[in-house]
Amino acid sequence: MRRGLSAAMQKPDKLLFTPGPLTTSLSVKEAMLRDLGSRDEEFIALVRSVRERLLRFAGVSQARGFEAVLMQGSGTFGVESVISSVLPEHGKLLVLVNGAYCERIVQMATRLKIPVGTIRCAENETHEPAALESALQRDAAITHVCAVHCETTTGVLNPIADFGRLVGAAGRTYIVDAMSSFGAIPIDVEGAGIDFLISSANKCIEGVPGFAFVIARRAALEASAGRARSLSLDLLAQWQGLEKTGQFRFTPPTHALLAFGQALKELDDEGGVAGRNARYTANHRVIARGMAEMGFRAYVPTARQAPIITAFHYPAHPNFRFDEFYRWLSDKGLVIYPGKLSQADCFRIGNIGRLYEKDMLALLGSIREALHALDVPIPVT
């Protein structure tokens, strides 16, 4: 088996310039090359360690009234576990919408028959805090507010701390989807008044898919008793099970957790959130400059752009066909991301994962070659 695995790994993986799943280190992959029982003491110790380290990276602790809850499934499962578990029967959710993932939260609430309101702005803009303040003053029925920190649709970075101050002052509960930011963009969870923050194993912490996690204010979590609309996504029950036995209620993603334990160590070794932010910011700077030199226009203004993923307009030339452009790069071992916008034709380039400036430069060189191959002119600078 070991020989067969080695042979399979002789062919290098493609580099993933995506928002996740993403390129992982060899050591993270190797951490999964063992089997561990879900009721084994070693695995229970791993789960406990992961929860403790997540709280530390969030800048909070159990002593300060916060808990880390692990939930099987993708990041979307984690978000839905919060939405379906913490809204009371007669509660109302307000969602700040400027992208596809905010829209997905609205869809969740609608499907769950939870009253939901929205404040909308363009996908490359951020909301004015005054609009949120006004909505909270107008509608006393709103019990919970949800915002996305880095909207993966475009890479726009929303001012979650500004929102949090208003939500807290109004006495509402604050939910933040930090899927594409946690671990790489500093977040003052406590200072921003965040009650529930959701992220995923396969984003900036550079683990593999398999589970999401929630950093929860314990008082808000305990207040959700009796509200869950799902058995498997019951956030409070999941936390209670982890606290009582150290175990998941249902089959845990053992291999993904082994990988995540190693990924957290590597985050520490890189200098924590600040160190990872520095690498991702350097990656983004190289991509932004290089794409601009080839005439590509970023969809999000620089002041609102997160160093995670960047959306670029299609070139205004009839020879540019994204499917051919994508395939040409993929054949070179470089995977970018299609657009997911309703208002513009764009594609996206992620610069997270185990990628460095040299990888960004390699991608830029191949993009230049792809444009030549497609006979799309590059402006002379």
Q: What is the pLDDT of residues 118-159, one digit of tens each?
A: 999 999 999 999 999 999 999 999 999 999 999 999 999 999
In this structure, the answer to whether residues 240 and 314 fall within a common structural domain is no
Query: Which residues contact residue 316 at a Cβ distance below 8 angstroms, ignoring those fewer than 6 apart?
Result: none
In this structure, the answer to whether residues 264 and 293 fall within a common structural domain is no
Last residue of a domain, one of 268, 301, 319: 268
In a domain, residue 10? The reply is: no
In this structure, the answer to whether residues 312 and 252 fall within a common structural domain is no
Q: Which CATH number fits the domain that encloses residue 277?
A: 3.90.1150.10
Indicate the number of domains in the chain. Answer: 2
In this structure, the answer to whether residues 208 and 341 fall within a common structural domain is no
In this structure, the answer to whether residues 157 and 187 fall within a common structural domain is yes
In a domain, residue 5? The reply is: no
In a domain, residue 4? The reply is: no
In a domain, residue 18? The reply is: no
In this structure, the answer to whether residues 283 and 245 fall within a common structural domain is no
Identify the residue whose tokens are 């992208």.
Answer: 99
* pTM of the shown model: 0.95
Last residue of a domain, one of 251, 268, 285: 268
Round to whole Å and give the CA distance between 248 and 240.
10
Q: What is the pLDDT of residues 40-68, one digit of tens each?
A: 999 999 999 999 999 999 999 999 999 99
Query: Which residues contact residue 341 at a Cβ distance below 8 angstroms, ignoring those fewer than 6 apart?
Result: 100, 123, 153, 154, 299, 311
In a domain, residue 364? The reply is: yes
In this structure, the answer to whether residues 120 and 206 fall within a common structural domain is yes
In this structure, the answer to whether residues 248 and 286 fall within a common structural domain is no
In this structure, the answer to whether residues 87 and 188 fall within a common structural domain is yes
Does the structure show a pLDDT above 80 at 26? yes
In this structure, the answer to whether residues 237 and 331 fall within a common structural domain is no
148: domain range? 26-268
In a domain, residue 233? The reply is: yes
Does the structure show a pLDDT above 80 at 198? yes
In this structure, the answer to whether residues 341 and 310 fall within a common structural domain is yes
Mean pLDDT of 229-247: 97
Q: Which CATH number fits the domain that encloses residue 101?
A: 3.40.640.10
In this structure, the answer to whether residues 85 and 230 fall within a common structural domain is yes
**Residue 1's pLDDT is what?**
40
